[in-house]
Structure 1
Amino acid sequence: MKRFILTVGPSLMNTVKLNEIHNEKYIYRINGAHGSVRDIEEYILEIRRQVPGADILMDLPGNKVRTKDIEIPITLEKGKEFEIPCNNFNYQEFYKHLEPGMTAWANDSTFEFEVKKTDPEKITFLSKSEGALISNKGVHIRGIHDDIPFLFEKDRSLIDLANQYHLSFVGLSFVRKPENIIEVKNILDSNVEIISKVETLEAVENLNEILQEVKYILVDRGDLSTDIGIEKIPRYQKFIIQKALYYGVNVFLATQVLKNMEEKPIPTIAEIDDLYQIYTSGVYGVQMSEETAVGKYIKECINILEKMCDEVEKETLVL
């Protein structure tokens, strides 16, 4: 295991300072989906204040349609219709790509809706779930992205920041074809490495071509599961890793690696087994998301990553 990506947030960087845990193998990830461009610039400056010279990953939000500016959570009742104004999406022309009968998944696929009606003012959905929908939650509909721009306005502003502050990495979200990567290469400084995220079915279908454009990919199991179905994740994960290794591309793996440790000081046995399988699969690194951004046990989480790394290395030496 070469590198660990640790997401900064209210927990890591504020509650736990970076200089308390820093190691040269750590890459500090800023989730560009959260906060304004100015907020994200402050994150860069704070990381640099705490650990000058740290490797920083700017993870672009990408063209994932998200809710925004929802001041009062929308109550979802199974079998009941509800409306979302078009200006409560980060892409106001979302309605143009929808047709009645389409299925939408929201909040990491925990909510399911059916599109009922659309117009330039609002979208009407039928909820098939119970809960509350809040701001900054993805709303995903399969098969509509061919006509949606790859880079939204915020992505371009964050690329400008990456260039300005000479960041180490930029993560490209919702890559579907090699042309998406080439588009970013044309505006990104050549000394900033691209990590192309594999989180769409199209990216898997175009994997050979994508792997020829980058040195790094990241398998985001959460968003990929929305596109292909959660039951297919183990098979697809194995295929993507093996294909990347064949091309000599470094692979990071993300999503719920140590989910239990957001709230508890130890992982589950299932998580430890998953971590072992990941480490022995040939991946270059893993990413901690909520585990470090908002988790309660950051140091314990990082300790588990390191201990498992040592354990796998000892096993390799013995064998």
Structure 2
Amino acid sequence: MKVSVAIMHHPARAHLVGSLVRACLPLVARVVTDPDPSGIRSPLRTAKRAWAAVGEGATHHLVIQDDALLCDDFAAQVMAAVEARPQHVVAFYSDWNSPQNAYLVRRAAAAGAAWAPLSRTDWAPAVALLMPADQARELARYLEPIPDEVIDDDEMIARFCRERRSPMLATIPHLVEKGAVESLTTHEDVYRATVFAGRTPPPAAHWARDPAQDAVLAARFERADPWEHVVELRGSRCYLRFTRPHTEEPAGHEYGWYWHDWAPLVGIDPRVVPGRGVMAEVWAAGYLLGADTFAFGRTDWLRPALATWVESGLRPADRARLGHEGRAALTEACLEGFSVRRTADVAG
């Protein structure tokens, strides 16, 4: 296996790119600079060139955005992951509050999996994405005629993968975090990784999990079930988002169904959730996750995945009011809800 690396770069972030290139070593990263940095801000414009920058002799190509932060031992982790899943599109990052993928990553973490099959309709997590080299070149050709004014490369990459039915997996944990720098586009949300390896990445053997686990997780989300759903924490409340498989409904719509009113449709009695307020909302989210998962093995990355769920799902006022200790208590409440349901299922 030989992985080439391209870094999508805007000159406004010149202070970031040097350290990112060094963090990739011994993988050699080529910096691909926005060809029109004073024009309309368009990640798509730079992505076209970054995906075309496949290195000579490369078997795989990785594109990283210039505000990325890499885990320790990044290159070795990438190579171990690629060797384990050489035919897949691999995401080394996913947003902590993406409409479907964030939940799919958390559900896989709850199952003890190393890989999370991602949604075909959610946007692609383009902060750090790898493809087989031939597919990367094909993507570059696909993107080239799309006007730069479309801006969002992640939606176009998702469309490309969907049309070709290319399976996309995210690593658990993620090898990449998004740096706390201002967005260069009009997006105002805060973006972070769903579960980041940081300074404690797993051993290389972690990635060599049985691919049958991927198929089981994917099948649970792609079945033609009218009650297929993800669980959300948004604005300090818990929601069910029914995904309506095989429809054209966009993944990112803002409409959700309040969990208490709709839980019976997925077989949950809402009276099992104790208390009221924000604590009850996150407990309910954990309980609903527990009802929708099963165990492959150790769930080492579940608690950090739930912690980002709480952080991303609170209203700013609640986040400030609760402080670090209060948010940590909410994470434990979410984990408790999950454990209560899993324990009941095992006992049953």
What TM-score comes out, normalization by structure 2 length?
0.29
Structure having the larger proportion of residues in helix: 2
- 1 or 2, which has the higher strand percentage? 1
What TM-score results when the alignment is normalised by the length of structure 1? 0.30
